[in-house]
Amino acid sequence: MAVAAPPVPVRSRGRGRRQWGDLLTGYAFVTPNLLLLVLFLFVPLGWAFVLSFQEVGSFGPATWIGLDNYRQLVGDPVFWRTLLNTAVFTATTVPTSVAIGLALAVLLNRALPARGVFRTVIFLPIVISGLVTSLIGLLMFGEGVGIANGVLRALGFDAAPWQTNGPLAMTSLVLMTLWTRVGFAMVVYLAALQDVPRELYEAAQLDGARPWQQFTNVTVPSVRATTLFLLVVNVIWSFQIFDVVYVMTNGGPGYDTSMLVTYAYDRGFGPSHLYGYGSTIGIVLFLLTLALTVVQLRLRRSGEGGL
């Protein structure tokens, strides 16, 4: 408030004009983006809540059905199955990709012949689209001409039912997902390792710490914030998995690899066009993401307190 009473009147007039100008510029600069956000994020989010209380098909008017969609969801064994599948997929892909990423980053952090080539090759799959990844996955794990089975046979094993056995189908999804994720974790860790002070390692060496002890006592705690970030990002990616599942297994066999997003897509855009029910699954996905973000913020705060 005190700022509003400047000592020199001339400056006050200039400042007033500038305030007015800044207000106009501010909103002029923000408006195009705000329009996009409102039309395609805010309104759809509110609308998703509305739809989740309605029964809507592609034809005819919507009818309010209160909490029926949610009641149906709670009693829907397929929903619980997709939730479990998504949890299993997340619990296997996330720690594995982060751990392998860290291991590779540590190996590549010191001088090594052809280090740049290794880094490029391991990081490269990140630019390959989910759809191409999925098609490669089919080429690898298809039961007909699949390469994995060709290799198994050549080594004298039996061909594995990668698509007709639930756990094996899930394994093939996890492997292809790891292929695209490991490089990201590695690169982010490589950046973080640059900031770990050399003196910490020197001090550890003076104390007689072996390489493994240096890793667990210096490296791991030093990149804790990065690990947390990678965990959160990967959890969110895994929760929203669609492309590989849709193309490689289409949720099958049965519902053995059906995920939250593929199920929501199925209900909303499949032959039944259950927009209300599909949106209800979407709301669950949103709330889960929100909960994960809150957990992340808590962890980060407690992490800072602990340092």
What is the footprint of another protein within residues 252-291 (CB under 8 A)? 261, 264-265, 268-269, 275, 278-279, 282-283, 285-286, 289-290
For the bound state, the minimum distance from the C-beta of residue 49 to another protein, rounded and expressed in Å, comes to: 9
Structure tokens at 69: 């969609």
Q: Restricting to residues 59-98, name those near another protein by CB under 8 A.
A: none
| Region of 1-9, 79-87, 89-97, 240-248 interacting with another protein (CB under 8 A) | 240-248
Q: Judged by CB under 8 A, does residue 192 bind another protein?
A: yes
Q: Judged by CB under 8 A, does residue 297 bind another protein?
A: no
Q: Judged by CB under 8 A, does residue 22 bind another protein?
A: yes
6 vs 130 by CB, closer to another protein = 130
Q: Interface mask (CB under 8 A) for another protein, residues 197-236, using x and -?
A: --------------x--------------x--xx--x--x
For the bound state, the minimum distance from the C-beta of residue 208 to another protein, rounded and expressed in Å, comes to: 17
For the bound state, the minimum distance from the C-beta of residue 88 to another protein, rounded and expressed in Å, comes to: 19
| Region of 37-45, 70-78, 89-97, 198-206 interacting with another protein (CB under 8 A) | 37-45
23 vs 203 by CB, closer to another protein = 23
84 vs 294 by CB, closer to another protein = 294
136 vs 209 by CB, closer to another protein = 136
Q: Restricting to residues 148-177, name those near another protein by CB under 8 A.
A: 150
Per-residue three-class SS string for the chain: CHHHCCCCHHHHHHHHHHHHHHHHHHHHHHHHHHHHHHHHHHHHHHHHHHHHCEECCCCCCCEECCCHHHHHHHCCHHHHHHHHHHHHHHHHHHHHHHHHHHHHHHHHHCCCCCHHHHHHHHHHHHHCCHHHHHHHHHHHHCCCCCHHHHHHHHCCCCCCCCCCCHHHHHHHHHHHHHHHHHHHHHHHHHHHHCCCCHHHHHHHHHCCCCHHHHHHHHHHHHCHHHHHHHHHHHHHHHHCCCHHHHHHHCCCCCCCCCCHHHHHHHHHHCCCCCHHHHHHHHHHHHHHHHHHHHHHHHHHHHHHHHC
For the bound state, the minimum distance from the C-beta of residue 25 to another protein, rounded and expressed in Å, comes to: 4
| Of residues 157, 159, 134, 125, the one with CA closest to residue 145 | 159
135 vs 200 by CB, closer to another protein = 135
Q: Interface mask (CB under 8 A) for another protein, residues 111-140, using x and -?
A: -xxx--xx-xxxxxxxxxxxxx--xx-xxx
Amino acid residing at 142? G
For the bound state, the minimum distance from the C-beta of residue 109 to another protein, rounded and expressed in Å, comes to: 10
For the bound state, the minimum distance from the C-beta of residue 84 to another protein, rounded and expressed in Å, comes to: 18
For the bound state, the minimum distance from the C-beta of residue 211 to another protein, rounded and expressed in Å, comes to: 6
170 vs 182 by CB, closer to another protein = 182
Structure tokens at 149: 């089975």
Helix-helix angle 115-123:77-109, to 10 degrees: 170
104 vs 218 by CB, closer to another protein = 104
For the bound state, the minimum distance from the C-beta of residue 10 to another protein, rounded and expressed in Å, comes to: 15
CB 106 within 8 A of CB 193: yes
Whole-angstrom CA distances from 251 to 18, 124, 288 are 59, 27, 21
